[in-house]
Structure 1
Amino acid sequence: MSTPVLAAGNHFIRPSLFAEAVRTAAGDAPLDIRELQFPWPHTPFGPVGEVIEASGSEDEMIEALQGVEICVTEHGPLTERILAHCPDLKLFCTSRGGPVNANLHAATRHGVAVCNAPGRNATATAEHTLTLLLAAARGVGDTHTDLRRGTWRGDYYDYDNCGIEIDGATVGLIGFGAIGSRVAKVLTAMGAHVLVHDPYVRPEALAGIAEQVTLDDLLRRSRIVSLHARVTDETKGMIGRAQIAAMPRGSVLVNCARGALLDYDAACDALESGQLAGAGFDVFPEEPLPAGSRLLTVPGVVLTPHIAGGSQEVAHKAARIVAEEVGRYLRGEPLTHCANPEVLDRRTATAD
Structure 2
Amino acid sequence: MKIVITDLDQERTTEEQAVADATGAQLVREQALTEEEVIAAAQGADALVVQYAPITRAVLEALPTVRAVGRYGVGVDTVDVKAATALGVAVCNVPDYGTEDVSDHAVALAASLSRGIVELDRSLRAGTYSLAPVKPLHRMSTRTFGVIGLGRIGSATARKARALGFTVHGSDPMIAPGTTTADGIAVRTLEEVLAGSDVLSVHVPLTEQTHHLLNAGTIAQMRPGSLLINTSRGGVVDTAAVVDALETGHLRGAGLDVFETEPLPADSPLRQCPTAVLTPHASWYSEESETELKRRVVENLVEVLAGRTPRNILNPEVLPGGSGG
Provide TM-score, normalisation by structure 2: 0.85
RMSD (Å) for aligned C-alpha atoms: 3.0
Bigger Cα Rg: 1
- Is 1:291 matched up with 2:266? yes
Q: Deviations over 1:73-104 (max 9, x none)?
A: 43454344443443332222222313333333
- Is 1:6 matched up with 2:4? yes
**Structure 1 residue 196: deviation in Å?**
0.5
1:274 maps to 249
Q: Which amino acid aligns with 1:257?
A: S
Out of 113, 117, 135, the residue aligned to residue 136 of structure 1 is 113
Q: Deviations over 1:166-221 (max 9, x none)?
A: 23421111111111111111111122110111121378872453111112222222
Identity of paired residues, percent? 31
Q: Deviations over 1:133-171 (max 9, x none)?
A: 1111122232222333x32241437xx714333234211
Q: Which amino acid aligns with 2:60?
A: L
2:89 maps to 112
2:201 maps to 226
Aligned CA distance change for structure 1 residues 73 and 215 (closer, same or farther; 3 Å):
closer
Q: Which amino acid aligns with 2:219?
A: I
- Is 1:167 matched up with 2:141? yes
1:8-87 aligned at under 5 Å gives the runs 8=6, 10-12=8-10, 14-24=12-22, 26=23, 31-38=24-31, 55-58=32-35, 60-87=37-64
CA contact (8 A) 1:188 1:209 kept: no
**Structure 1 residue 124: deviation in Å?**
1.8
Q: Deviations over 1:43-78 (max 9, x none)?
A: xxxxxxxxxxxx534455445434332333434543
Aligned CA distance change for structure 1 residues 8 and 220 (closer, same or farther; 3 Å):
closer
Q: Deviations over 1:274-300 (max 9, x none)?
A: 332222112223333333333222232
Out of 312, 320, 336, the residue aligned to residue 295 of structure 2 is 320
Aligned CA distance change for structure 1 residues 269 and 189 (closer, same or farther; 3 Å):
same
SS of aligned partner of 1:218: helix
- Is 1:152 matched up with 2:128? yes
SS of aligned partner of 2:111: helix
CA contact (8 A) 1:282 1:305 kept: yes
1:100 maps to 77
2:319 maps to 344
Unaligned runs of 5+ in 1: 39-54
Provide TM-score, normalisation by structure 1: 0.79
Distance in 2, matches of 1:61 and 1:292, equals 29
Distance in 2, matches of 1:176 and 1:336, equals 22
SS of aligned partner of 1:206: coil
CA contact (8 A) 2:101 2:283 kept: yes
CA contact (8 A) 2:101 2:286 kept: yes
1:187 maps to 161
Aligned CA distance change for structure 1 residues 274 and 75 (closer, same or farther; 3 Å):
closer
CA contact (8 A) 1:21 1:320 kept: yes
Unaligned runs of 5+ in 2: none
Distance in 2, matches of 1:237 and 1:60, equals 30
The count of aligned residue pairs is: 322
Out of 249, 271, 278, the residue aligned to residue 303 of structure 1 is 278
SS of aligned partner of 1:288: coil
Aligned CA distance change for structure 1 residues 70 and 286 (closer, same or farther; 3 Å):
closer
Q: Which amino acid aligns with 1:176?
A: L
Q: Which amino acid aligns with 2:17?
A: A
Aligned CA distance change for structure 1 residues 191 and 68 (closer, same or farther; 3 Å):
same
CA contact (8 A) 1:95 1:321 kept: no
